[in-house]
């Protein structure tokens, strides 16, 4: 669920991790795998890609700062989305009446602001 609960969901196999050895990006590995599927005649994605943007490290750190201001004990914002940040995001999403999928993207950042 690289784009959260509103985006497409992928079943990946061992080659996913092999591809990520070259570039440790889930989206890169999905693109390479999808291209391979299309080359052998596979169909396109079934679900639409959601209208959300990825956030770079600075944006992820801002998400953490905003969550700390809202009372979540996350420590010093570092832009790395670990288990504490993910749990705080899910809790905040529930309280805000949003889909609690833990996805950190542009839509979450805008909602927290």
Q: Which domain holds residue 30?
A: 4-39
Of the pLDDT bands very low, low, confident and very high (cuts 50, 70, 90), residue 109 is very high
Chain segment 60-100, per-residue pLDDT in tens: 999 999 999 999 999 999 999 999 999 999 999 999 999 99
* pTM for the predicted model, two decimal places: 0.75
Instruction: Quickly count: other Cβ atoms within 10 Å of residue 63's Cβ.
Output: 24
C-alpha to C-alpha distance for 113 and 111, rounded to whole angstroms: 5
Give me the pLDDT at residue 49, please.
77
Helix (H) or strand (E) holding 73: none
Same domain, 35 and 61: no
Residue 90 lies in a domain: yes
**Mean of per-residue pLDDT scores for the chain:** 91
Within this chain, do residues 29 and 69 fall inside the same structural domain, yes or no?
no
- What is the tally of structural domains in the chain? 2
Say how far apart CA 63 and CA 58 lie, in whole Å: 9
For residue 60, count other CB atoms closer than 10 A to its CB: 21
In a domain, 104, yes or no: yes
Q: What pLDDT, on the 0 to 100 scale, is given for residue 44?
A: 86
């Amino acid at each position: 669920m690289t784009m959260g609960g509103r985006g497409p969901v992928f079943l990946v196999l061992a080659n996913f991790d092999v591809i990520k050895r070259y570039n440790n990006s889930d989206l890169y590995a999905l693109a390479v795998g999808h291209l391979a599927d299309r080359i052998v005649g596979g169909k396109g994605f079934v679900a639409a890609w959601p209208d959300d943007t990825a956030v770079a490290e600075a944006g992820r750190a801002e998400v953490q700062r905003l969550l700390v201001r809202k009372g979540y004990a996350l420590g010093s914002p570092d832009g790395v989305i670990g288990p504490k940040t993910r749990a705080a995001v899910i809790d905040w999403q529930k309280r805000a009446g949003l889909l609690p999928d833990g996805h950190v993207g542009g839509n979450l950042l805008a909602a927290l602001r």
